[in-house]
Chains A and B, each alone.
Chain A
Amino acid sequence: MVNLKTKSSFLRLYSWLPIIILFISVLNEFDFNYLNLEYFSFNFPYILIFYFTLKDFKHFDYFLVFIAGLVNDTVVGLPLGLSSFLYILICIATSYLRNITIRPHPIKDWFYFLFIISLINSISYSVLTLFFSYNIILIDYLINNFFTFLFYLVFVYLFKQYLRGLND
């Protein structure tokens, strides 16, 4: 009986894992930037949000994504609400893609992801420079965009394994 209860709570925790990882990543800036590799950075939350909202994962609540955005703004020091805005834009884009797609294809999703992150990074750059007078190097944004795009496939493979484990 106890064993069954433990198993059930573990399963519950496992099913909430993506949102937990999202919160850990925004609180901890999980992107290997501390390695100080020149020109290397990527945005893990974008990949996570894009994948799980595209899959319409039941435990990936939009409201929690919104809160994660607020947390990210606080940790990074961006104007409050900006990351939430960008994260919700990703959710809208994935929701739209889900609606118009009859037969999903990973490569199409991948390039759609590139389009979406380019769009939201452009919005982020424009808002920060035009409305909040931040000095930001554009090339850093482009590199971040590029590595986020590249790492998408790696993480998609890992997420697929996770979903397979959940279904089993």
Chain B
Amino acid sequence: MASSRDDFIIAIRSAFLKKSTQQKFSLLSLILTSAFIILLSSFEFKVIRYLKIGINEIVYRSSFVVSIPENFIKNTFFEVSEYTTFFNNYKKDKKELNQLKSNYVSSQIIQSENRELKELINDYVSSSDKILAKIIVDHESPFLKSIIINKGSKDNIKIGTNIYDQSYLVGRVTEVNYKTARVLLLSDLNSNVPVTIAPQNIQAIITGDGDNQGQIKYIKDGFSDEITQESIIYTSGTGAIFKSGIPIGRLSILQDNLTSKFNVEFYSDFTQLKYVFADVITKTEIQNFDNNDSELNDLDNTPMNAKLKILEDELKIIEDTNLKFKEENEILKSEINNLESEIIDFKNKIFLQKEKINQFDIDEKELNFLRLNLEYGHKCRKSFFNNKGFVVGTSEYKQCVLNKGRINNG
């Protein structure tokens, strides 16, 4: 018994401490170093943070370079499959583009109003600037859903910066390095987003399901019955982590026997992201105005300029709207002209058809008269034997024939 325990201890000691000829470090020293690093990284020391940023910069770039062949194969495959549906997508996109163009102007107006109202509520003007970022690492980990972008603190990216695919939200920044940043996707289990479910206007919190979908994590009791299939989900802005009104996805309800599960189908396909937009926000404090005329007249005053800019923007939007209305007006006018010419054509057609119908009626009456004339003409014709009759061709004669030979005296 004691011997087997000794063997075990010897084997363990040997495993930990014995270095073979090629090894530079013993396993014990390496495992202690790893444990030490885990401990330090959990305490978030400044030195460790900078060291981590340095490692991240190098590793992300290396990972990007190493992934080039794999990404090339992957992208080629996707491109080939895209070409097969290219034409259908083109037609669909064209239709959507027209629709979006018309929505764009109204959206601009709402944005301008929104900005103005926000300015009234807060004491700062927040101007956002979307910068394009390339995804340099997007490895699909089975446990964590995140991507690395090629923009970092150098480009004013901060922890919490919202990341978009077109205008759809895809996640937020959780780690910032000098030239790179890690984005936690909405599909990650650790992502929690306060949302509003439209059109019911229900507040909820969604989280990722670890796959490529989301699910409703929290909703107030009783409200779940009001939710319908295909409801639209957008950020509510609660907690000021995400901006409000950013579209996220659509709701799909999965009915089990007793319970129903609320899934969120994201508008954006996180597996196909190549470029994203980072919403860099700069806040400008609004200073309190004194009633000093000289200050009011100062053109360098930032809030004043901001207001002027807003007014200029509004003016621009109004001009755009007018232009659009004018264009629409022109289109409608040309449509009216077309319709009028069509009406004239139709009228002509109707007139011709009426004429034809009249001619047909006349012919039919003539035919009927001739037929009756053959049969009853001898009764109406004035002759030696029939002095009550009429002269052929007179209207009385015609009437008599049509009355099948009966002579009206009255």
Contacts and interface: CB of A to CB of B under 8 A. Distances in A.
Interface of A: 24, 27-29, 31, 33-34, 36, 38, 41, 56, 58-59, 61-63, 66, 69-71, 74-82, 84-85, 88-89, 91-93, 95-96, 99-100, 127, 131-132, 134-137, 140-141, 144
A95 B210 contact: no
Contacts of B20: 56, 58
21 contacts: A27-B63, A27-B66, A28-B67, A31-B142, A33-B139, A33-B142, A41-B142, A66-B33, A66-B34, A77-B144, A80-B38, A80-B41, A82-B38, A84-B30, A91-B27, A91-B30, A92-B31, A96-B11, A132-B42, A135-B190, A137-B143
B295 to A, nearest CB: 50
Interface stretch (B52-60, B111-119, B307-315, B344-352): B52-60
Nearest to B16: A92
Contacts of B129: none
Nearest to B48: A80
Interface in B61-110: 62-63, 66-67, 70, 74
Interface string B34-49: 1111101110000010
B22 A59 contact: yes
B24 A136 contact: no
Contacts of B36: 81
Kindly list the 9 A-B residue pairs having the minimum CB-CB distance in the complex, ordered from nearest: A81-B37, A29-B139, A41-B142, A85-B34, A135-B189, A95-B15, A33-B140, A81-B38, A96-B15
Interface in B141-198: 141-144, 146, 175, 182, 189-190
Main secondary structure of the interface of A (DSSP, over half): helix
Interface of B: 7, 10-12, 14-16, 18, 20-25, 27, 30-31, 33-38, 40-42, 48, 52, 55-56, 59-60, 62-63, 66-67, 70, 74, 137, 139-144, 146, 175, 182, 189-190, 207, 210-212, 271
Contact of B141 (A29, A36, A71, A79): A29
Contact of A77 (B31, B74, B182, B189): B182
A77 B37 contact: no
Specify the main secondary structure of chain B where it touches its partner.
Answer: helix
Given A34-B271, A85-B35, A85-B38, A136 B30 contact: no
Contacts of B212: 36
B194 to A, nearest CB: 17
B30 A137 contact: no
A75 B59 contact: yes
A114 B20 CA distance: 26
Given A81-B40, A91-B30, A140-B143, 11 more contacts: A33-B140, A58-B20, A62-B27, A62-B30, A66-B33, A75-B60, A77-B144, A81-B41, A92-B31, A93-B15, A95-B18
